[in-house]
Structure 1
Amino acid sequence: MTQTEHGRPAGTTASGGREEATAPGVPAPRAAAEARVPQAGPAVRTDRLAALDGLRFLAALAVVFFHFVGQVPGTMQTIWGRPVDEVFPQAHGVFAFGRLGVELFFLISGFVICMSAWGRTPRDFFISRVTRLYPMYWVAIAITACVVYFADNPFGHPHPRVLLANLTMLQTPLGVEHLDSVYWTLWPELCFYLTFAVVVWKGLTYQRVVIYCGVWTVAAVLAPSADIRLLTLLVNPPSAPYFIAGMAFYLMYRYRPTPLLWGIVVMSWLVALHYLLTPDGGRLNWGSWSPGRGWLMLVITFFFLLVAAVALGWTSRIRWRGLTVAGTLTFPLYLLHDAIGVNVLHRFGDRADPWIVVGITVAALVALSYVVQRFVERPVARAARRRLNSASFSLRPPEPRR
């Protein structure tokens, strides 16, 4: 969330759903692209958006340090043997804001998914999403299952049906707990892909993306108040404003800023703050974490400004390849850090200085993420992509056997 895929319009590719930020190139041949995507708009730069990769990696690290240093004291007391705010008395309150790194993920996802889908057919979009999400997710499931079921896991051993349900990535609508708590973010991503696929099917244009943003905003606002549970499950109201703003930012990047696009961003920002600050119906549990409301608003506003800087081209000089490499590690780091890291802290947290244990653990997880992404996820995803590209998705029945 490496290189542009061969034979397709240039876009962004991803390591398992967290897209690596690459600006879209010129579709070729042009006539075919225009037939497939009416009014596709002007071509833009083909340089990688290294700044988005860097932001994504920082967001992942924020979540990692939140889970290790900034979680609710009662939760982490099982790990450290005493409340985490006693282990990290000065840092705990700061790293507690790392939980908001997920909101930055969603902002970036709206930007890069819209960017990578531009000029693609529904088939291309489907293959891209499947081969980005599932290979790394299944690798993470396998590793996490080994840790959860065979290691001295401090949080118990879930029923095997939890593992089976999680393999589908549909555990949220199935009403099954997550094998790892970080998996909750995958359902909002899936819903975004599912609904956005309708726009891809019709052909991405400026007008259609704007209409999609408007419809999703209305649905996200009305579904909870109308108590429409199915629609609420699909539109994910607390997460929706970030995806929507990310898409508007991409339209700014591809075309230019307009009052309409700024209106979408401002409306999304306001709705995001509403769901963030509301005592019930939002994402935060005020009973376990009650930070200053002003700080919450400041952090979320800062996230919007960071992505706005990318959309306006202010970060175009940032082209360090190391940021692109870091971007490829984000999805495996996010999926692997919790189950593995918590067990490491549980086993070694009282044997050395806590900061040394956390530092070594994070460094090892980043290294593991690189190995998994480079030598497992990438080859599996490429093989799956080749297989799906050669497969038929026709709804017509195959020829009967003779």
Structure 2
Amino acid sequence: MSQTDQRTLPDHSTRQPREGADVARVSPARAAAEPPAAGAGPVVRGNRLAALDGLRFLAALSVVLFHFVGQTPGAMQFVWGRPYYETFPTAHGYLAFGRLGVELFFLISGFVICMSAWGRAPRDFFISRVTRLYPMYWAAIAVSAAVIYLFDTPFGHPNPRMLFANLTMLQAPLGVDNLDPVYWTLWPELCFYLTFSVVVWKGLTYQRVVIFCGIWTVAAVLAPRAGIPLLTLLVNPTSAPFFIAGLAFYLMYRFRPTPLLWGIVAMSWLLALHFLLAPHGGRNNWETWAPWRGWLVLVITVFFLLIAAVALGWTSWMRWRWLTVAGTLTFPLYLLHDVIGVSVVHHFAHSGSPWAVVGVTVAALVALSYVVQRFVERPVARAARRWLNSAAFSLKPPPERPRA
């Protein structure tokens, strides 16, 4: 689930169309492919988008509540020691939809990654992604591993080999289980970064991002039928439509909406629902969770509408600092909540009201996320950024050491 930073963007509102006969000679097809004038849309401001920060935090919170209240009946029985209808008879059915918070993460990630990469050199993009992901990820693994190996938790005591594979963040292609089940979202994010870095390397432009969206859409459609596991692993068909829509929404935000961009979004919305509702190979196991399909369509549609509101500039009035602070807590909260939170809930399941246990646990996790983000993730990421910025990043060998 990414969870990404947002950078200052230059204002391209000074771009002017060509005059007179030059304009008249542009064909409709070429005009549709060219980027619209940036001045026609909302001005791209240098501050963070507080609305996206707030949505990220709500997405993380929905996943947290899903793991505590809305999991499958078997998982709820295992965690709480009693059936879900004895603990959360009404709320369970609603908070089961919290699992879809990951889809909102992916939508936001497509938007923000494109925004943060615009105008950056590939080297800077690489450094920003590495320092954004790995310091917090390694901190989360250290904390989760300590809880798993030192205490009696529902997660058992996995083979330490799993720990070493997970430290690479490449456990999915290595065929190794995740130390924490929530880590599954990191592979789709990482694949998105790797493939999008090709566009960053060539230089981000409106046309190149649109072409990237088209190629990825075609690949996501063909991969499930191609029968090539490696292609499916890299393309991530069930997650791709959300990233692609996020990219298109950012182009709307930076320039202005066009029929071409709305077409990309509409196609992504349809494919997202197709994969979500698929009887086999989709994101959900219908044997353990079979809600009314209309609710799934409604939730995903609302997610798209929320990001559309940001892209159209309708949320620009939101500038509350607390939303920005909440956004910085999203990644640590997402990575830390499962192993720690479920273990705490399992231990105190019979100590009082289930809602009181959940409330105290969530509040403690938010506080822990703030401490870890402020005193671990931020300083480590800053130091790593300085170190990587000082590196040559060249395949040429460094100067030899002077010999005595």
Q: CA, structure 1 residues 83+25, in 2 after alignment: closer, same or farther (shift >3 Å)?
A: farther
Equivalent AA in structure 1 for residue 98 of structure 2: G
Distance in 1 (CA, whole Å) between partners of 2:124 and 2:83 is: 49
Residue 22 of structure 1: CA displacement? 5.1
Distance in 1 (CA, whole Å) between partners of 2:76 and 2:145 is: 21
Corresponding residue number in structure 2 for 1:367: 367
Matched, 1:162 2:162: yes
Unaligned runs of 5+ in 1: 2-16, 28-38
Residue 40 of structure 1: CA displacement? 12
Distance in 2 (CA, whole Å) between partners of 1:171 and 1:25 is: 38
Distance in 1 (CA, whole Å) between partners of 2:248 and 2:331 is: 23
Q: Deviations over 1:269-291 (max 9, x none)?
A: 00000000001111111111000
Distance in 2 (CA, whole Å) between partners of 1:40 and 1:375 is: 43
Matched, 1:19 2:30: no
Residue 155 of structure 1: CA displacement? 2.6
Distance in 2 (CA, whole Å) between partners of 1:136 and 1:25 is: 29
DSSP 3-state at the match of 2:4: strand
Residue 76 of structure 1: CA displacement? 2.1
Residue 83 of structure 1: CA displacement? 1.7
Residue 398 of structure 1: CA displacement? 2.5
Equivalent AA in structure 1 for residue 366 of structure 2: V
Corresponding residue number in structure 2 for 1:299: 299
Q: Does the 8 Å CA contact 2:345/2:357 hold for their aligned counterparts?
A: yes
Distance in 2 (CA, whole Å) between partners of 1:357 and 1:303 is: 29
Distance in 2 (CA, whole Å) between partners of 1:52 and 1:375 is: 24
Residue 21 of structure 1: CA displacement? 4.2
| 1:19-38 matched pairs, under 5 angstroms | 19-21=4-6, 24-26=9-11
DSSP 3-state at the match of 1:317: coil
Corresponding residue number in structure 1 for 2:382: 382
Distance in 2 (CA, whole Å) between partners of 1:91 and 1:154 is: 23
Residue 44 of structure 1: CA displacement? 2.2
Q: Deviations over 1:187-206 (max 9, x none)?
A: 00000000000000000000
Q: Does the 8 Å CA contact 1:277/1:293 hold for their aligned counterparts?
A: yes
Residue 69 of structure 1: CA displacement? 0.1
Distance in 2 (CA, whole Å) between partners of 1:263 and 1:228 is: 28
Q: Deviations over 1:221-252 (max 9, x none)?
A: 10111112111100100000000000000000
Matched, 1:101 2:101: yes
Q: Deviations over 1:7-31 (max 9, x none)?
A: xxxxxxxxxx51244562359xxxx
Q: Does the 8 Å CA contact 2:155/2:339 hold for their aligned counterparts?
A: no
Residue 399 of structure 1: CA displacement? 3.2
Corresponding residue number in structure 2 for 1:193: 193
Q: Deviations over 1:145-186 (max 9, x none)?
A: 001111111231110000000000000000000000000000
Matched, 1:144 2:144: yes
Equivalent AA in structure 2 for residue 382 of structure 1: R
Distance in 1 (CA, whole Å) between partners of 2:375 and 2:10 is: 28
Distance in 2 (CA, whole Å) between partners of 1:25 and 1:135 is: 29
Corresponding residue number in structure 2 for 1:311: 311
Aligned residues, how many?
A: 378
Distance in 2 (CA, whole Å) between partners of 1:106 and 1:389 is: 28
**Structure-2-length-normalised TM-score:** 0.91
Corresponding residue number in structure 1 for 2:209: 209
Q: 342-351 vs 306-315, which deviates more?
A: 342-351
Distance in 1 (CA, whole Å) between partners of 2:86 and 2:234 is: 40
Distance in 1 (CA, whole Å) between partners of 2:227 and 2:312 is: 38
| 1:3-402 matched pairs, under 5 angstroms | 17-21=2-6, 24-26=9-11, 42=38, 44-401=44-401, 402=403
Identity over aligned pairs, percent: 77
Corresponding residue number in structure 1 for 2:25: none
Distance in 1 (CA, whole Å) between partners of 2:44 and 2:357 is: 45
Equivalent AA in structure 2 for residue 106 of structure 1: F
Residue 77 of structure 1: CA displacement? 1.1
DSSP 3-state at the match of 1:18: coil
Q: CA, structure 1 residues 348+45, in 2 after alignment: closer, same or farther (shift >3 Å)?
A: same
Equivalent AA in structure 2 for residue 224 of structure 1: P
Structure 1 residue ranges (4+ consecutive) displaced by more than 6 angstroms after TM superposition: none
**Structure-1-length-normalised TM-score:** 0.91
Distance in 1 (CA, whole Å) between partners of 2:304 and 2:78 is: 36
Residue 48 of structure 1: CA displacement? 2.2
Q: Between Structure 1 and Structure 2, whose CA radius of gyration is higher?
A: 2
Q: Does the 8 Å CA contact 2:118/2:204 hold for their aligned counterparts?
A: yes
Equivalent AA in structure 2 for residue 18 of structure 1: Q
Q: Does the 8 Å CA contact 1:107/1:245 hold for their aligned counterparts?
A: yes
Equivalent AA in structure 2 for residue 124 of structure 1: D
Residue 370 of structure 1: CA displacement? 0.2
Q: Does the 8 Å CA contact 1:107/1:242 hold for their aligned counterparts?
A: yes
Distance in 2 (CA, whole Å) between partners of 1:399 and 1:59 is: 49
Residue 133 of structure 1: CA displacement? 0.1
